A and B are shown apart, each in its own frame.
Chain A
Amino acid sequence: MNLDTFLLMRHEIGLTIIVLLLLLADIFMEDKKKVNTVAVALFAIYTAIGFVPMDSGELFGGMFSTTPLIVAFKNILNVGVLLILMISVSWVNKKMLPINKVSEYYVLMVSSLLGMFFMISAGNFLMLYIGLELATLPVAALASYDMFNRKSSEAGIKLILSAALSSGILLFGISITYAITGSMYFDIIAGNMGLSYLGILGMVMVFAGIAFKVSLVPFHFWTADVYEGAPTPVTSFLSVISKGAAVFVLMILLFKVFPDMKGIWINLLYGLSILTMFVGNLFALRQTNLQRFMAFSSIAQAGFILLGFLSVDELAVSSIVYFIAIYILSNIVVFGAIQAVGLASGKYEMDDYTGLYRTNPKISIVLMLGLFSLAGIPPIAGFFGKFFLYSAAASQGYYMLVFIAVVNVTISLYYYLKVIRASWLRKSDDSIPYFESDSFLKAGVLIATVGLLILGVASPYYEYIYSLSNIFN
C-alpha cells in the first residue's frame, strides 16, 4: 500500500482530520462561538475536496472498496451533512453555547458520518459491522444532546436500545452466513451462498438488522419517539443521512451479497414496501407535532424507496441513489423550517403554524416547496425521484404495487397539505411573529431549496448517477 492507494480513503481521512482539528479547536479557541464557523468552514472545504475525481479500487485486502458510485454517494451525504451543520449552528449557539458543549456536537456528527462511510465502502461484514457501530453510537449521544430536555434523554435511550437489538440481530445474521460460506468477504459469500433455509434465515436477519436503520415497518417502533425527542438538527440527520446510508448498504447487500436469494427478498421487499407505506402514511395523518409527523412521513418515504429495489438493474441503483439525494434536500428544507420556527418561538405543533405565511412569508414558501417535494409534486425534484422509483417497479410489471404507491402518495398529500393549510390558508391573531434566522440557517435552507428546484428538471444530474450505476459485474 502506497500513498496513492491510501488516498482512496480520501473521504474517511478528511473526516478524521476534521474530528481531530475540532478537538484541538475546542482546546485552543477562547471564543467557543467561533468553533461553529470553524466546523462549518472545515466541512465545506472538505466537501469541496470530495468532488475532485478519484480512482476506484480496494484497500486492506478487499475490506474497503470504492467505486465512482460510492464516491458520488459519499459526496451526496457530505452535502447533506454540510447543510445540516449549517442549520444546526443557530441551535448550537442558543442551546449549547451556554453549557459549553459546542465542539462535541460537531465531533459526534462527523464521527457518525465517518462510520457510515466505512459501512458504505465495506467489502467485508466485519468492516460493515464496525462502520455501523461507529455510525450509531454518536447518533445516540446526539439524540440525547439536549440534556435539560427529558424527551431528548428518552430519545437517546430508545435509540441506543433499539440499535443494540438491531446490531444483535445483524450479528446473528452475519454469523449464519459465515457458518454457510466460511467467509466474511462479500465476494466469497456471494459466490457460495446458494439457496438454503439456513441461508434465508441469515439473509433475513441481516436484512432486519439494516431495516432497523431504514425504519421499515415492522422495525420502525423507535422512530417516532426518537425523532420527536431528539433536537431538530439531529432528527434531520437521522432521517436523511442515517437512513440514506442504510438504504445504500441494504442495496449493496441485497444486490451483491445475496443475489442467489433474489426470488425471496423481492417478495420480502414487495410486502414490506406496502406495509411501510401504509403504516407510515396512515399514522402520519393524525400527528400534530411536526417532528413526529416528519417521523412517520420518513417511514412512508422508506416504503417508496423499496419500490426502486424491485428491478435489480441500473435503473434500480440510479433511482434509489437519486431519490435519496433528493429526499435529503427535501427533508433538510422542511427540518430547516421547523428548526427556524422552533428556535424563534419554541413551537413545534402544527396548529402553531396557523397564519405563518402572513407573518413569515419566506419560511412558509420554502416549507411549502419542501413538503411538495416530499409529496412528489412536479416540477419540484421530489416528483422526479418518485417517478424513477415507480419506473423501476413498473419495469418488472409490478403495476399493482405502483398503483398502491400512488394511492399512498395521495394519502400523503393530505397530511402534507395540512401543514400548508395551517400556514397558508388560515389566519390567526396569535400566529408566530416575524423573526430573523441567522445567516447560516438561511443559507443552508436556501441552498437546499434551490437544489430542489433545479435537480429535478436538470436531467444531467440523474443521467450522471445513472452512468455510474452499473454495480453488477
Chain B
Amino acid sequence: MDILSLFVIVPVLTVIALMFTKGQNNYRVVTAIGSGVQLIMAFNLLYQFLAIREAGNTDTMVFMQDYMWFKSMNIHYAIGVDGISVLMIMLTSIIVLAGTFISWKVDDLAKEFFIFLIILAAGVYGFFISIDLFTMFVFYEIAVIPMYLLIGLWGSGPREYSAMKLTLMLMGASALLLVAIFGLYFNSNVDGGALTFNIFEISQVNIPVEAQKLFFPLAFIGFAVIGALFPFHTWSPDGHASAPTAVSMLHAGVLMKLGGYGVFRIAMFLMPEGAHYWSEFFMILAVIGVAYGAIAAVSQTDLKYINAYSSVSHLGMVLLALLMMNEVAWRGAMLQSLSHGFITSLFFALIGIVYGRTHTRDIAKMGGLMTIMPIIGTLYVIAGMANLGLPGFSGFAAEMNIFVGAFQHPDMFHRIITIIAVSAIVTTAVYMLRLVGKIMMGPVMEEYKHLPAITWYEKAGTFVLVLFSMLIGIFPFFWSDIIDEAIKPFIQGILSV
C-alpha cells in the first residue's frame, strides 16, 4: 500500500472501528488512536519526503501513484505530494489530534461526532494528496458536507441557520469550481493529446487564452469562497461562531486552507494568463477582505466572532499574496497558511476552553481570568501575540515575506494595496491587545472565582499547537526551504507569461 493512500484509508478504518465501538470512553479513545496514527504517518511522510529530497530527487511531485478510475473519461485516482502538501498534511494531522483532545467531553451523540470529524479529515487529506482534478473535487465535497451535521447538531446559537448557510455557500462555490474543471478538461486536448483531469498533464497544454479568461474567475472564486474571499466570506463568521470547538479549529485551521491551496495549485498554475488578466480585480477584493476583516473584528464583542473576522483578514492576506505572483510573496502565503492554521486553531481551542467554564463568549462579561486560570491565560496571551505577528512566532515570518514580496511590485496600484494590507496588521494589534487586556487582565469578577483549572486533555490539545507555532517562528528557514522548493515549478509557469 502506498504511503499516501493510507491518509485516506486510516480515517476510513477509524470510522469503521467507531461504528462497531460501544461506550462513551471508547469512542474518544478510538478516535485519539486513529488521529494519533495519522500524526505519526504525517511525520513519517515529512521525514521520508526530506530523505528523498536529500537523496537528490527533484521531481515536482513525489510518492506518485496513478490508478485508472473511469477509463472512458480518462479519470484517474492520481496522488502525489510536494513540500507544500506535506506541510499541509502535517498541519491537518496535528489539528485533528488537538481537536480530538479538545472534544474529549462531547457527550451528546459522541460516536457520530467523531465519525463526522474523521470523515472531514479524510476529505481534507484526500484533497491535499490529489493531483487529479476529479479526485480533488470529490475529496473537497467530502470535506465540506460533514460540516453541516457537525455545526448543525453540536453547534450553539443559531446553529441550524449557520450550518445551512455555510453548506449552501460552499456547495455553491464548488458548483463554480465544477464548471471550471469541465472547462479545463474539455480544453485539455487542444494540443492534440487526450482529454485529461491530471493537473500536470493539463499544465503542459496551452489552454486557449479566451478559455482561461472565462474559467479562471470561476476556479478562483470556487476555491476562494472557502478561503473567505470578500464578499463571499459571510458563511465563515456565522459558521465559526456556531460550530463546536473542535469543528471551529478544523474549519479555520484546515478547511479554509483548501482555498489558498486550490487557488495556488489549480487556478493560477493551470491558467496563468487568466491569473494575470484577473489579478488586479481579485486583489482589490482580497485587500478589502483584509481590511474589512480587521475592522469588523475590532467592533465585535463575541470571542468567536472576533477570531472569525480575524481569520477573514488573515486568509485574505494569503489570497492577496498569491495574487502578487512572485516567489517571496508566495512563500509568505504558504507560511501564512501554516501559521494561521496553528494559531487560529489554538485560539478556537482556548475560546472553547474559556467558554466551557464561563458559559459566555461576550468579552464585556469577562475579566481578570489570568489570575483564576493562569495556564489558559498565558496560552491566550501567546495566541494573541502570535496572531498579531510578534517576532518569534509563525505569523511574523509569514507576514514579513508577504509584504517584502508585495513591495517588489514598484507600481502605484500594488503599493496602495500593500499599504492598506499593512495597516490592517496594525488593526490586528488593536483588537488583539484590547481583547487580551479586557478578559485576562483587569479586576477579577466574583462569579468566576471558582472556575476549574485546565485539564490534561485540554493541555495536550493546546500545547502541541503552541509548540508548532513557535517551531515555525523560530526556525522559519527550515519550513521556507521546503516551501521554496515546492513553489519553484509553479512560479515559473506564472512568471513566464
Contact = CB atoms under 8 A, between A and B. Distances in A.
A55 interface: no
Interface string B111-128: 000000000000000000
B179 A379 contact: no
B164 A414 contact: yes
Interface string A37-78: 000000000000000000000000000000000000000000
A413 B160 CA distance: 14
B163 interface: yes
A459 B71 CA distance: 8
Given A315-B72, A377-B145, A421-B152, A413 B182 contact: no
A372 B145 contact: yes
Interface in B265-303: none
B175 A424 contact: no
Interface in B140-195: 141-142, 145, 148-149, 152-153, 159-160, 163-164, 167-168, 171-172, 175-176, 178-179, 182-183, 185-186
B163 A395 contact: no
Nearest to B141: A378
A425 interface: yes
Contacts, number: 85
B138 A406 contact: no
B419 interface: no
A409 B171 contact: yes
A466 B72 contact: yes
A402 B178 contact: yes
Interface size class of B (residues with CB under 8 A): 20 to 34
A407 B175 contact: yes
Contacts of B138: 378-379, 383
A448 B271 CA distance: 42
B141 A417 contact: no
B73 interface: yes
Given A379-B138, A379-B142, A399 B179 contact: yes
A395 B188 CA distance: 12
A399 B182 contact: yes
A425 B152 contact: yes
A354 to B, nearest CB: 12
Interface residues of A, number: 34
A323 to B, nearest CB: 14
A402 B179 contact: yes
A406 B174 CA distance: 9
Given A315-B72, A403-B179, A410 B164 contact: no
A462 B70 contact: yes
A391 to B, nearest CB: 6
A399 B175 CA distance: 12
A421 B165 CA distance: 13
Interface string B291-332: 000000000000000000000000000000000000000000
B69 interface: yes
Interface in A356-390: 372, 377-379, 383, 387-388, 390
B141 A377 contact: yes
Given A414-B164, A459-B69, A409 B145 contact: no
Given A378-B141, A399-B183, A413-B171, A463 B72 contact: yes
A378 B138 CA distance: 6
Name the residue in B73, B75, B138 with the highest tally of chain A Cβ atoms < 10 Å from its Cβ.
B73
B141 A421 contact: no
Given A394-B186, A421-B160, A459-B70, A407 B142 contact: no
A410 B168 contact: yes
Contacts of A414: 164, 168
Interface in A390-431: 390-391, 394-395, 397, 399, 402-403, 406-407, 409-410, 413-414, 417, 420-421, 424-426
B178 A406 contact: yes
Contacts of A318: 72
Contacts of B70: 459, 462-463
Contacts of A426: 160
Chain B binding surface, main DSSP class = helix
A459 B75 CA distance: 10
Interface in B383-439: none
A459 B134 CA distance: 13
Contacts of A378: 137-138, 141-142
Binding site secondary structure of chain A: helix
Contact of B167 (A402, A407, A417, A463): A417
B153 A402 contact: no
A170 to B, nearest CB: 34
Given A406-B175, A410-B172, A424 B153 contact: yes
B168 A413 contact: yes
B216 to A, nearest CB: 14
Interface in A106-124: none
B178 A417 contact: no
B72 A410 contact: no
Contacts of B186: 394-395, 397
A463 B71 contact: yes
Contacts of B153: 424-425
Contact of A391 (B163, B175, B182): B182
Nearest to B137: A378
B167 A390 contact: no
Contacts of A462: 70, 72
Contacts of B145: 372, 377
B178 A390 contact: yes
Nearest to B155: A425
Contacts of B152: 421, 424-425
A174 to B, nearest CB: 35
B175 to A, nearest CB: 3
B132 to A, nearest CB: 13
Contacts of B149: 420, 424-425
Contacts of A394: 179, 182-183, 185-186
Most buried by B among A379, A390, A399, A424: A399
Among A372, A425, A463, A466, the one with the most B-chain Cβ atoms within 10 Å of its Cβ is: A425
A217 to B, nearest CB: 21
A314 B153 CA distance: 44
A406 B148 CA distance: 19
Contacts of B175: 403, 406-407, 409-410
A462 B152 CA distance: 35
Interface string A116-145: 000000000000000000000000000000
B447 to A, nearest CB: 29
A199 to B, nearest CB: 32
A371 to B, nearest CB: 11
B182 A425 contact: no
Interface string B44-75: 00000000000000000000000011111101
Nearest to B172: A410
Contacts of B148: 417, 420
B182 A402 contact: yes
B339 to A, nearest CB: 31
A394 to B, nearest CB: 4
Nearest to B151: A425
A460 B246 CA distance: 39
A388 B69 CA distance: 14
Contacts of A409: 171, 175
A417 B148 CA distance: 9
Nearest to A398: B182
A318 B75 CA distance: 16
25 contacts: A314-B72, A318-B72, A372-B145, A377-B141, A378-B137, A378-B138, A378-B141, A387-B134, A390-B178, A394-B182, A394-B183, A399-B179, A403-B176, A406-B176, A407-B175, A413-B167, A413-B171, A417-B167, A420-B148, A421-B160, A421-B164, A426-B160, A459-B69, A463-B70, A463-B72
For the complex of A and B, the 6 pairs showing the least CB-CB separation, nearest first, are A406-B175, A394-B182, A425-B152, A378-B138, A466-B72, A410-B172
Given A377-B145, A421-B164, A425-B149, 13 more contacts: A315-B73, A378-B137, A390-B178, A391-B73, A394-B179, A410-B171, A417-B148, A417-B164, A424-B153, A425-B160, A459-B75, A463-B70, A463-B71
